[in-house]
Amino acid sequence: MKIVTICGAGIGSSGILKVNAERVLKRLDILAEVTAADITTVAWAAEDAQVILTSAEFVEAIGKTYADVIVIDNFFDTDELTRKLRATLG
């Protein structure tokens, strides 16, 4: 499974979200490759992704995708991330 975290520059927020997603996935015993990307490369970075994690401000810019787009309100809240990943991934 491939998960892509998206932010404006692909460094700060998406990096934080990537690290926290990896921690949550490990706790949930879900194997996934997590990649951080910026909004300008989302089409390329997420072309084979099953899940995209981002903030509400970037959802529209993602465009057409077959991935599940999960909006995360607080990138530091691993409980929120756990709930939303669990709901999406089963």
Structural domain includes residue 88: no
Give residue-wise pLDDT tens across range 31-68: 999 999 888 777 777 788 999 999 999 898 888 888 99
Structural domain includes residue 65: yes
The three-state (H, E, C) secondary structure of the chain, written as one string:
CEEEEEECCCCCHHHHHHHHHHHHHHHCCCCCEEEEEEHHHHHHHCCCCCEEEECHHHHHHHCCCCCEEEECCCCCCHHHHHHHHHHHHC
Structural domain includes residue 89: no
* pTM of this structure: 0.90
Range of the domain at 69: 2-83
